[in-house]
Structure 1
Amino acid sequence: MHPQCYEYLKSNPQLARFVRLNPMWYRYLSREPSMLTHIDKEAKRFYGKTFPQRVEKLNNQVQMLEMLIQFAGAMKD
C-alpha cells in the first residue's frame, strides 16, 4: 500500500476498520491510491452516516417515541 494511503488510514481509525472489514479495499488502494476519495463515500454508506440514512434513523426514533407515548396514554385509561 502506498505510504500516503497508509498515513490517511492511520489518521482515520474508522476508515482503517472499514478497510479491515472489507479487504477488497486493500487491493483498490494498492493499485490506485486515488481511490481514497471513494473510500470515504463507501465508509459513510457502510456505517449509516449518509444524510438519507440519518433521516431514516431519526424517523424511526420519532415513531418509537410516539408509540411509547400512545402506550403510556392507554395505560392511564
Structure 2
Amino acid sequence: MRAEIQQLLVDRPEIRQFIRQHPNWYRRLSRDPSIVSQLEKEVNQFYGRTLPQRVEKMQNSLGLVMMMMEMLKMGQATVSGVQGPGQ
C-alpha cells in the first residue's frame, strides 16, 4: 500500500476502523489509490454522516421530544384534574 494511503489511515482512525471491517478496501486502494474520495463517501455513509442521515436523526430526536412533551402535558392534566375536585 502506498505511503500516502498508510498516512491517511494513521491520521484518520475512523477510516482505518472502516477498512478493518471491510477488508476489500485494502485491495481496492492498493490497486487504485485515486478512489480515496469514494472511500471517504462510504465511510461517511457507514457512520451516518451524510446530510439525509443527519436530517433523519434530527427528525427522530424532535419526534421523541414532542412525544415527551405530550406525555408531560397529559400527566399534568391528570394531576391537576385529580386535585381540583378533591379541594
Q: TM-score, normalised by structure 1?
A: 0.95
Larger-gyration structure (1/2): 2
Query: 1:72 is aligned with what amino acid?
Result: L
Percent of aligned pairs with the same amino acid = 36
C-alpha separation in 1, matches of 2:74 and 2:33: 59
RMSD value over aligned CA atoms?
A: 0.7
Q: TM-score, normalised by structure 2?
A: 0.85
Ranges of 4+ aligned residues in structure 1 off by more than 3 Å:
none
Deviation track 1:29-73 (CA, whole Å, cap 9, x = no partner) reads: 111111111111000000000001000000000000000000011
Unpaired runs of 5+ residues, structure 1, are none
Query: 1:45 is aligned with what amino acid?
Result: Q
Q: Secondary structure at the match of 1:49?
A: coil
Unpaired runs of 5+ residues, structure 2, are 78-87
Count of residue correspondences? 77
